[in-house]
Amino acid sequence: MINIKAPVKPLIFLWAACLSMLAHAESSGETIKYEEGTHYVELPVPIKTRNPGKVEVTEFFSYGCNHCYAFDPLLKVWESQLADDVEFNRSPAIWNKAYQLLAQTYYTAQALKVGEKIHAPLFAAIHRERRRLNDPKLIAEFFGEYGVDPEDFARTFSSFGVRASTQQAEARGRAYRSSGVPALIVNGKYRIEGSMAGGNTEMIRVANFLIEKERKLISSES
């Protein structure tokens, strides 16, 4: 079990080592067959992706989820190693008012172009520092620590664009049919959850398997 209070950098080195071992195993010819219904689920209705010429991977997550916080360092290392034909993005889960607030916070950060800057610190503030970021005013103060003017935050947080993005994320969440987070959605077709895959590292391994599956399909259709 991962200690979520551990410093981030040692965790990143640990995950990098894990991914290196996985890459070595896969490149050495080790054959692993993951099965639909056992290690991942095929969505009954595929979701249209942004770029049909690339394989899209979406993390379904929430800043309020401690499992997502624990998964994030591994995901960060993995994302940095993805090939050019793979696009990674995130979609926040919205199951209650608290998660809706955090989803709106995510899209506010994207709109203000500070998403990557505050992503890890926001996770840490909630789960390591135990800050109660359960009100827009408190979140505005947090953003202020990263150079965002409170008025800019308030205006963006309540903007039509952010509210529309949040509603779209809620609709995607229903289409994903996931009962928990984190989950990975590969090319709008497959959902991977830790409970089926066997843990965070195995989620990545199943994702690699499905990426290759979709890469071959795209190649055969082009």
**Residue 28 maps to which CATH number?**
3.40.30.10
Q: How far apart are CA 120 and CA 116, in angstroms?
A: 8
Name the residue type at position 141: E
Q: How far apart are CA 103 and CA 167, in angstroms?
A: 10
The domain in which residue 140 lies consists of: 8-221
Evaluate whether residue 33 is within a structural domain. Answer: yes
Q: How far apart are CA 124 and CA 117, in angstroms?
A: 13
So what's the pLDDT on residue 53?
A: 93
Evaluate whether residue 2 is within a structural domain. Answer: no
Q: What is the CA radius of gyration of the chain?
A: 18
Evaluate whether residue 77 is within a structural domain. Answer: yes
Using left for φ > 0, alpha for ψ between -120 and 50, and beta otherwise, residue 101 falls in alpha
- Residue-wise pLDDT for 101-116, tens only, equals 999 999 999 999 999 9
Evaluate whether residue 3 is within a structural domain. Answer: no
- C-beta separation of 42 from 36 below 8 A: yes
Q: How far apart are CA 9 and CA 111, in angstroms?
A: 28
Going from the first residue of the chain to its last (222 residues), give the mean pLDDT of each consecutive group of 10, the final group possibly shorter. Answer: 46 50 49 89 95 96 98 97 97 97 98 98 98 97 98 98 98 95 98 96 97 94 79
Name the residue type at position 137: K
Evaluate whether residue 23 is within a structural domain. Answer: yes
Evaluate whether residue 81 is within a structural domain. Answer: yes
Beta bridge partners of 40: 36
Total tally of structural domains belonging to the chain: 1
Q: How far apart are CA 129 and CA 149, in angstroms?
A: 23
- Residue-wise pLDDT for 175-222, tens only, equals 999 989 999 999 999 999 999 999 999 999 999 999 999 999 999 987
Phi/psi of residue 44, each to 5°?
-65, -30
